[in-house]
Amino acid sequence: MKKALAAALVSTMILGLTACGSTQEAAKEETAGQNPVSTGQEESPEGGEEVTITYCNFNASGGNEETLNKMYEKFHEEYPDITVNIETVAYSDYFTAMQTRVAGGTAPDCYELNIENFASYAAKGVLADISGAETSNFNETALSAFNVDGKQYGLPGNFSNVVLIYNKDLFDKAGAEYPTDDWTWEDAQVAAEKIRALSDDTYGIYAPLTYNEFYKVASQYGGGLLNDDKTEFTINSPENIEAAQMMIDRVLVSNVAPTEEQMGGMGDWDLFESGRLGMIPTGIWAFNTFKDACDFNWDICVEPGGTEKATHFFSNALVVNADSEQAAAATTWITWLASSDEAAQIRIDAGWDLPAIKNETVLNSYLEVTPPDNKQAVFTSLDYLVVPPIIEDYSLMSDIITEELSKAASGKTTVEDALNQAQEECETLITLN
């Protein structure tokens, strides 16, 4: 499954390269391909000359700025000739700022990209070929996600996924069995109805009715938004309609999930922390927040499925600017940051996301930090990873589908009509390769 995931992603990137590469971009890429950066962790960059590089990221914003600084301090002890000026930008502002800097020729020496944007940047030829970087300590599946046509244009800085987090105390009060890794959404519905029956303002489950949630649940029912060769939209397929119907029936029919009005402006994490929500499928980055905010017992399991399992896969790439004059030093920094045992241990100790490395001794220490007790579910979920269908007009497709799902969730249209409308709009406004 994981191999198939990587192959599919690489195929998407190759299509993007074919479609988007201008003559100038292709020339730049060809040049980069002929002269890949050939440094590794053990190699002193630029012959021992003191250099200063810039590194821009979004992943540390909102609470892990100090953790990143600790990593850099360790790195600088090992590589005193390399000074790194770290810029941390909020996620909401990051990609607009980076797009402007790349277009203006002022991009940092190295920076972070999410998996959706990586394909676009690689296609534009603005990333250095870093195939010479030391990669022996990386998780191979995560590493292959950023390999395009045999060339390494990024390193996996981290990875994370989504699990089902549940309130054990509410399950006990409702007399419901705790969720297991084998659950389907039918099992979850039975428990959600028992929890919903506890009181008028207690709910069984919450999952946002958005594009990001929909493409994953569609996969759980054997569906998908594009055909296999990504030449046609399949948004209104019977499998997708079944998936969306299940999601929306939880709100409008059984009401085990709250309507927008019942949420009253409260966020989904806030609702869970208040002790009035039984289950929430969400990212593993919630663990630290829930550990501090929840005064009840909670645990996790692999997210339930429909006819099959499917869970989100998130990985951010660390890349080097193709125009950087300090590409060797930049590659040394991002390689150390992404794969050294020292950086990985600091990341785990801080409860940040997971390092994409193979060292089981370091990774096992992640399992020892509780709650949740069933942290093994994080690794078990890796067997069911899916990635979003990445296309050039990704944002437009996402906006169209989210808007139509919202109409169905409010009762303004049926699920089938909503997906038919989304299919028609995507076919009209978006050209697939």
- The angle that helices 360-367 and 341-349 make with each other, rounded to 10 degrees, is 0
Tens-level pLDDT at each residue, the chain (433 residues): 333 333 333 333 333 323 333 333 333 343 333 456 655 444 444 456 899 999 999 999 988 999 999 999 999 999 999 999 999 999 889 999 999 999 999 999 999 998 878 878 888 899 999 999 999 999 887 888 888 888 999 999 988 889 999 999 999 999 999 999 999 999 999 999 999 999 999 999 999 999 989 999 999 999 999 998 889 999 999 999 999 999 999 999 999 999 989 999 999 999 999 999 999 999 998 998 899 999 999 999 999 999 999 998 888 999 999 999 999 999 999 999 999 999 999 998 887 888 988 888 888 888 888 899 999 999 889 888 887 777 778 788 999 999 999 999 988 999 999 999 999 999 999 988 7
pLDDT tens-digit readout, 335-384: 999 999 999 999 988 878 889 888 888 888 888 888 999 999 998 898 88
Quick one: which of 252, 81, 258, 280 has its CA closest to 188? 280
Question: Pick from 96, 94, 124: which is nearest to 111 by CA?
Answer: 94
What pLDDT digit, counting tens, does each position of 251-265 carry? Answer: 999 999 999 899 999
What are the phi and psi torsion angles at 269 (to 5°)? -65, -40
In sequence order, what DSSP letters do the residues of 33-45 get, joined into one string? HHS-----TTSPG
Q: How does strand 51-57 pair with strand 82-88?
A: parallel
**Structural tokens at position 182:** 């084998």
Model pTM score: 0.76
* The token pair that represents 188 in the structure block: 């979850």
Reading the block at residue 388, the tokens are 């979003």
Q: How far apart are CA 242 and CA 238, in angstroms?
A: 6
